[in-house]
Chain A
Amino acid sequence: MKNVNRFVPALYILFLLLPIYWLVNMSFKTTNEILGSFTLWPQEFTFENYITIFTDPTWYMGYVNSLTYVSINTALSVAVALPAAYAFSRYRFLGDKHLFFWLLTNRMAPPAVFALPFFQLYSAVGLFDTYWAVALAHTLFNIPLAVWILEGFMSGVPKELDETAYVDGYSFPRFFIKIFIPTIAAGIGVAAFFCFMFSWVELLLAKTLTAVDAKPIAATMTRTASTSGYELGLLAAAGTLTIIPGAFVIYFVRNYIARGFALGRV
């Protein structure tokens, strides 16, 4: 039984890593080798694909663009979700339950439904092809999620904490920043992680709302794939590089995640 228990996660992780290995493998091959033969590891090891990406602005600016709008979105979503989640977890007010469900419905809206209207809306307000357009558009599904997660964490904090602080003479803003936010730091970490994740991986809206200046790396990849034919090695290298920021983020929040999941809602 013990051996079986080790075997299952190991096998699952192997299954997860195989496609990633294949992608990394491809990224170090020359186009000739990819199309001409079938090899389990690169025979003519090359960094050329990576050099292309790091020297060509249309490629590396894609990463800068993506990271910029993802950061704006994460900061914005968490910042506005904090007071809202506090209100939902501490107070009853007119229409609170309906409002909460309405917020969640936006998490359910398929991006495909909103792609065209979003394009028209952001063109009309003059934000098309800016970081802000994508960052704001992604708040549609990230704010509800952040509110949902944070509300779960805040409900786990006893109300006596608030009351004690008031007795000690704290004003509300000071209490919120000095005491409450450090208490739910794990929750903020988890919420930020999920906002980062869903904004980083989304493509349809990001692609629809940008043309040149703010084009995300993912869109650069699809356009390259369709225009310059079959540069699989380059595509694989770009794909490999998109995995790295995510891996970093997971590494930093790994302890929060297990704990955070247990306390919060997601």
Chain B
Amino acid sequence: MNKIENQKAWFFVLPVLLLVAFNAIVPLMTVVNYSVQETFGDNTFFWAGVMWFEDVLHSERFHAALGRQMLFTFSILAIEIPLGVAIALTMPRKGFWVPVCLVLMALPLLIPYNVVGAMWNIFALPDIGLLGRSLNALGFDYNFTRQPGDAWFTLILMDVWHWTSLVVLLAYAGLVSIPDAYYQAAKIDGAKPFAIFRYIQLPKMKRVLTIAVLLRFMDSFMIYTEPFVLTGGGPGNSTTLLSIDLVKIALGQFDLGPAAAMSLIYFLIILLMSWVFYTVMMRNEAQ
């Protein structure tokens, strides 16, 4: 759409700007402030320069948490995106079952994060949980509170359970927006189902899928409550993702300087990767 140049439009944006700035800039500056200072706990602060940043960037603990975070984020993206698309493709397009499917599928999205964690905890417990009990009955030695592998399996399964529906809803919206004429044309040309998917459905879903990847990337990188309630970061440190580690340092040990420096590095990583996604997305839209 052709937009009109109008500087007065700023007045429309002003309320949003003020509210978001109050919430974003003051806390962000607080974090920046802590990240360059040292304190001994009696409310006196000393200039520390980039010391904390160097500490964090060289710390094994941060590398390990970041590695686990990457593994988690890319695993769930690799599972949820294809699975979501596959389910959206098989969903009915019209009729009685459409609203039923939509309502049931959207259900996990509206459950508070800690309830999701608690629910999966009691679902997966090896003695009283349906999943844990069943797996053990089938002969697997499954115990997510003791074995790191099982903890990871449960964590990823929980996230797939929780968020695949978002991908399904987005992909489904992309699919229903394709006019029937496209399918009729494909039929006349004698296109195989895979060809229809590759040349009609996939290109039409591209925009919503980019949004799905972006949202899932951001949210999974920030995930805190669900793994915290499910495993508490354990056993050991095996499921301690970035946020969990950060809260341990900031609120548990009250090491404000290192926590602040880590926060900024963490935020910058998300920002950088989201910027890449955003640029790619905008370029696609411009085409």
Q: Which of B16, B111, B174 has the most CB of A within 10 A?
A: B16
For the complex, what is the distance from the CA of A132 to the CA of B133, rounded to whole Å? 44
| Complex Cα spacing A90 to B4, Å | 7
Whether B110 and A200, one on each chain, are in contact in the complex, defined by CB atoms closer than 8 angstroms, is: yes
Interface contacts beyond A109-B267, A261-B174: sample of 17 additional A-B pairs, CB < 8 Å, sorted by A: A9-B91, A9-B92, A15-B161, A16-B108, A22-B122, A83-B15, A90-B4, A99-B17, A110-B246, A110-B266, A111-B243, A112-B250, A117-B28, A204-B225, A221-B114, A257-B106, A266-B215
Q: Once the chains are docked, how many angstroms separate the CA of A6 from the CA of B105?
A: 15
Instruction: Given A12-B105, A19-B120, A204-B225, check contact A103 B110 (CB 8 Å).
Output: no
A195 CB-CB contact with B under 8 Å: no
Instruction: Please report whether the interface of chain A is mostly helix, strand, loop or mixed according to DSSP.
Output: helix
Q: Which of B7-24 contact A (CB under 8 A)?
A: 7-10, 12-13, 15-17, 19-20, 22-24
Contact A113 B31 (CB under 8 A): yes
Question: Bound state CA distance, A13 and B266, in angstroms?
Answer: 35
Within 8 Å by CB of B118, from A96, A120, A235, lies: A235
Interface 9-mer from B40-48, B95-103, B140-148, B183-191:
B95-103
Q: Is A212 an interface residue (CB 8 A)?
A: no
A143 and B9 in contact, given A19-B119, A246-B107 (Cβ under 8 angstroms): no
Within 8 A of B (CB), among A135-192: 136-137, 139-140, 143-144, 147, 155, 159
- A232 located at the interface, meaning its Cβ lies under 8 Å from any Cβ of chain B in the complex: yes
User: How far apart are the CA atoms of A99 and B274 in the complex, in Å?
Assistant: 16
A103 touches B20 (CB 8 A): yes
A12 touches B87 (CB 8 A): yes
Q: When A and B form their complex, which 6 residue pairs have the shortest distance between CB atoms, in order from nearest? A: A246-B110, A261-B173, A117-B27, A87-B12, A91-B9, A117-B30
**A20 CA / B119 CA spacing, docked (Å):** 7
A50 to nearest B CB, angstroms? 16
Assess the B107–A91 pair: CB atoms within 8 A. Answer: no
B90 touches A8 (CB 8 A): yes
**Residues of chain A with a CB closer than 8 A to B2's CB:** 159
Residue of B nearest to A116 (CB): B250
Contact B176 A262 (CB under 8 A): yes
**Choice from B7, B113, B131 contacting A201 with Cβ under 8 Å:** B113
Q: Across the interface, which residues of B come within 8 angstroms of A83, CB to CB?
A: 12-13, 15
Interface residues of A in 198-235 (CB under 8 A from B): 200-204, 217-218, 221-222, 225, 232, 235
Interface size class of B (residues with CB under 8 A): 35 or more
Determine the distance from Cα of A15 to Cα of B161 in the docked complex, in whole angstroms: 8
Question: Is the beta-carbon distance between B104 and A13 smaller than 8 angstroms?
Answer: yes
- The reply to whether the CB of B170 lies closer than 8 angstroms to some CB of chain A is yes
A51 within 8 A of B: no
Q: Is A101 a contact partner of B278 (Cβ separation < 8 A)? A: yes
CA distance A232 to B111 in the complex (A): 18
With an 8 Å Cβ cutoff, the count of chain A residues facing the other chain is 97
Give the chain B neighbours of A80 by CB distance below 8 A.
15-16, 19
Q: Is the CB of B6 within 8 A of A92?
A: yes
The prevalent SS among residues of B at the interface is helix
Question: Which residues does B use to contact A, with CB under 8 Å?
Answer: 1-10, 12-13, 15-17, 19-20, 22-24, 26-28, 30-31, 86-87, 90-92, 98-99, 101-115, 118-120, 122-123, 127-131, 133, 161, 164-165, 168-170, 172-174, 176-177, 208, 211, 215, 218, 221-222, 224-225, 229, 242-243, 246-247, 250-251, 256, 259, 263, 266-267, 270-271, 274-275, 278
Q: Please provide the chain A residues from 81 to 129 with a CB less than 8 Å away from any CB of chain B in the complex.
A: 81, 83-84, 86-94, 96, 99, 101, 103-118, 120-121
Inter-chain contact A106/B20, CB cutoff 8 Å: yes
Also in contact, A243 and B110, with CB within 8 A (given A93-B7, A251-B103, A262-B176): yes
Return A216 CB to nearest CB of chain B, in Å. Answer: 8
23 residue pairs of the A-B complex, CB under 8 angstroms, read A16-B108, A19-B131, A20-B119, A22-B130, A23-B123, A83-B13, A92-B3, A93-B9, A106-B24, A112-B222, A112-B247, A115-B247, A136-B23, A139-B19, A202-B112, A221-B114, A236-B122, A254-B102, A255-B99, A257-B102, A257-B106, A261-B174, A266-B215
Chain A residues packing against B (C-beta within 8 Å): 4-9, 12-13, 15-20, 22-23, 26, 34-35, 38, 40, 76, 80-81, 83-84, 86-94, 96, 99, 101, 103-118, 120-121, 136-137, 139-140, 143-144, 147, 155, 159, 197, 200-204, 217-218, 221-222, 225, 232, 235-236, 239, 242-243, 245-247, 249-251, 254-255, 257-258, 260-262, 265-266
B119 touches A22 (CB 8 A): yes
Quick check: A247 and B107 within 8 Å, CB to CB?
yes
Q: Which residue of B lies closest to A112 (CB)?
A: B243
Whether A265 pairs with B211 at a CB distance below 8 angstroms is: yes
B169→A257 contact, CB < 8 A: yes
Which of chain A's residues have a CB closer than 8 A to the CB of B164?
A: 12
Pairwise interchain contact B127-A221, C-beta atoms closer than 8 A? no
Question: Known: A26-B122, A114-B27, A136-B23. Is A20-B107 also a contact (CB below 8 A)?
Answer: yes
Given that A91-B6, A239-B115, A250-B107 are contacting pairs, would A262 and B161 also be in contact in the complex, using a CB cutoff of 8 Å?
A: no
